[in-house]
């Protein structure tokens, strides 16, 4: 009779536990873990570049400024194409018409007066052959470009570089885990989870990697592009 009553009490106790508590009992003791974060890097010399170039024109009227600007930009685009840049790599990236105000006279309360207009038209150019970049810059200025900026170097096909950065990140995390485990007197049992910290991040590095250009072209240094990737790994550990 006592045995039956004890069994009944145990059954009531288990039934009263929350599902989470019942799961904890069945899953056994909590596992010890070690979480580490690794970072990997991979670098390569860029093989392409993009830049923004344009023309700013002024005139007494908006029409006058627009006509002057349109003519200059047409010549600029023609020169870019003549340098071997394909039409797919040339895109209008900005156009604006702005009034220009005459400076007010000293101690005058008159409203600002429009003295003329300024028209700006910019194009973004992608250069797939860095050997043409210096000559292209020189040619654009010669053909009327009075605004050039935003030059950025990149890798046309970064897939291999991204993979190398991710592999390096995993190796770095594994190395750190091994060092910590050895110093702590524990053993790595198995990997419980792996998560990447976003995609590889491009990091420009200024290193000697000049593009081959004519002697009379604008000097340009492509440098070296570096990609970084991060990974977080959680290991199950146990005492040695």
Q: What is the pTM of this model?
A: 0.64
- The residues of the chain that CATH labels 3.30.110.170 are 28-45+158-239
Residue spans in the chain of domains classed CATH 3.30.70.2970:
48-103+111-154
The correct CATH number of 48-103+111-154 out of 3.90.180.10, 3.30.70.2970, 3.40.718.10, 3.40.605.10 is 3.30.70.2970
Low-confidence ranges of the chain (pLDDT < 50): 1-26, 204-215
Residue 165 in contact with residue 28, Cβ under 8 Å? no
Q: Under CATH, to which class is 28-45+158-239 assigned?
A: alpha beta
Q: Tens of pLDDT along 19-59?
A: 433 344 445 567 899 999 999 999 999 999 999 999 999 99
Supply the pLDDT for residue 128: 94
């Amino acid at each position: 009779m006592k045995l039956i009553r004890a069994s009944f009490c145990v059954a009531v106790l288990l039934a009263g536990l929350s599902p989470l508590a019942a799961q904890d009992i069945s899953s056994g003791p909590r596992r010890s873990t070690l979480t580490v974060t690794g970072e990997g890097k991979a670098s390569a010399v860029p093989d392409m570049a993009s830049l923004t170039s344009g023309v700013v024109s002024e005139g007494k009227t908006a029409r006058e400024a627009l006509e002057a600007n349109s003519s200059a930009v047409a010549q600029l685009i023609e020169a870019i194409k003549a340098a071997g840049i394909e039409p797919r790599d040339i895109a209008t990236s900005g156009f604006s018409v702005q009034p220009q105000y005459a400076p007010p006279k000293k101690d005058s309360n008159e409203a600002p007066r429009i003295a003329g207009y300024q028209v700006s038209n910019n194009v973004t150019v992608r250069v797939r052959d860095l050997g043409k970049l210096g000559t292209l810059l020189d040619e654009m200025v010669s053909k009327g470009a009075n605004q050039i900026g935003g030059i950025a170097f990149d890798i046309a096909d970064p897939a291999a570089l991204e993979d190398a950065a991710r592999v390096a990140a995993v190796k770095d995390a594994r190395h750190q885990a091994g060092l910590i485990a050895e110093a702590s007197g524990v053993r790595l049992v198995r990997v419980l989870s792996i998560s990447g910290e976003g995609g590889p991040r491009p990091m420009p590095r200024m290193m000697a990697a000049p593009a081959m250009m004519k002697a009379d072209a604008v000097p340009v240094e492509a440098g070296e592009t570096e990609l970084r990737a991060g990974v977080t790994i959680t290991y199950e550990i146990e005492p040695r």
